[in-house]
Structure 1
């Protein structure tokens, strides 16, 4: 557990806010760019863009997206690996909980049921895709925030600084201390834009959650391309950002990971040039050799 200021222990990281834009791909680029522009109408904060190398939905202009992300890196934003296809294609079991998780909750939990060797293959394919563009990457965020045991095993064989699930921010590898992951409780503020009841309820739930997390070291605001289609959600996100910035410093996720490790006053810019390269997985995986990307 990480102490916070006024907790009675040693002073820990100052309160932080991480804002991320999910599902970044050529097909979603226009909406993602509009989300970023709306946020910067409030404040010019560093953002974390969650990029999907081979997004399952086609369309869009890859060249324009890549130029936009180059500009984002140049201004101090972060790019994180967000799965590889963002689509759950593994066979499904008969259990009710699995049917709910992989059906009702999300059809896009790519890493929820993959064996370790396939999860490692997809992560490596994503890293190779980033490397081909000269983009640094320090974090991995699974689609729908879902990872099964195989994915966790695979992820720990790579040199990422962090991952996030819906409820927690996880430091990874030796940087977390004693080779195990340390976590910070930080359920994400997120909107359910795909249905009317979700659009009505999720802003209220986000307000309640932000209040409940007021004394926590991190609050995460997670935006998705469909959010930009609904002015009420966009206005709420802007108001939430303005309110949280009154008491918190905006950081990229990589910046927050570094803050946890150093326990120093945070910078509000995370320079991409400071990131170090990811090593390849060395996990001994059973079964057939991994397929090409």
Structure 2
């Protein structure tokens, strides 16, 4: 089986439109056409509602028509919960108040998932690819809601899985960048450089970019180098291909026609 490359643009919405356009050009130059996923935020920080922006809705539909997979990426993306224990450590060190689904109850997480799904699917005129929590962070309530949500795919830092069964479809750290401080820029560039050599063995590699990346020329250079490296010798894949591969590996369901 050939090795795969899965690519994605996070935090897509009216607030990040210019940066997303730039990232589309960057990824397209390495992947060919629009062979990547977008993670769409319905109302980023409560300041950029998709529902009242028909021009951006039209762009989303156009991208989807050209083959971009659309994931529901939270609702606000902003984390307003008070955290204790390990969740507090994650909220402080892994994200800057961006882990919206880290502290939500099951019912609130389920409501935001369902509302985001309906909005985005109505806009693009087709089923969404799945759900990915902001900052890849899921609390217990979000995990419980996700298992009952009907989404076909979910993703965190270390894996892609089927929410309904828990089956893991891809393993290994996602390669991504952080732009919010010089220290994080340097560390993410270091990890990307290491990953280009050390993670070549992964059968399914994931590389994700964020709108803030385009504000730092050194990150743009690292992104170009990383996509170029991972694209060599790999098939540019869709997340949906993971479901197809799992079905092929397991064979037809028991009792199904061969």
Q: TM-score per shorter chain, which class?
A: 0.7 to 0.9
More deviation, 41-50/150-159 = 41-50
Partner of 2:151: 160
- After superposition, where does 1:1-293 map in structure 2 within 5 Å? 13-45=1-33, 46-56=35-45, 58-59=47-48, 62-93=53-84, 95=85, 97-106=86-95, 107-133=97-123, 134-173=125-164, 179-263=165-249
Q: Report the Cα distance in structure 1 between the residues aligned to 2:199 and 2:160, rounded to whole angstroms.
A: 13
Please list the CA deviations of residues 53-81 of structure 1 after superposition, one character each: whole Å capped at 9, or x if unmatched: 12115259833322222221121111000
Q: How many residues align?
A: 245
CA contact (8 A) 2:200 2:230 kept: no
Secondary structure of the residue that 1:56 maps to in structure 2? Answer: helix
Q: What's the CA shift for 1:223?
A: 0.2
Residue 192 of structure 1 and its aligned partner are, at CA, apart by: 1.4
**Is the helix fraction higher in 1 or 2?**
2
* TM-score, length of structure 1 as denominator length: 0.77
Q: Structure 1 residue 102: deviation in Å? A: 1.5
TM-score by length of 2: 0.87
Output the CA distance in 2 between the equivalents of 1:104 and 1:180. Answer: 27
Contact 2:192 2:222 survives alignment (8 Å): no
Gaps of 5+ in 2: 251-258
The alpha carbon displacement at 1:242 in A equals 1.7
- 1:155 and 1:119 map into 2 onto residues whose CA distance is 8
Q: Secondary structure at the match of 2:127?
A: coil
Partners of 2:67 and 2:112 in 1: how far apart? 27
State the Cα RMSD in Å.
2.1
- Structure 1 unaligned regions, length at least 5: 1-12, 174-178, 265-293
Whether contact under 8 Å (2:104, 2:142) holds in the other structure is yes
Regions of 4+ moved over 4 Å: none
Relative to 1, partners in 2 of residues 1:73 and 1:196: Cα closer, same or farther, differing over 3 Å? same
d(CA) in 1 for partners of 2:196, 2:130: 24
Match in the other structure for 1:269: none
Deviations 1:164-214 (A, max 9, x none): 1111111232xxxxx442243221101111111222221221122343322
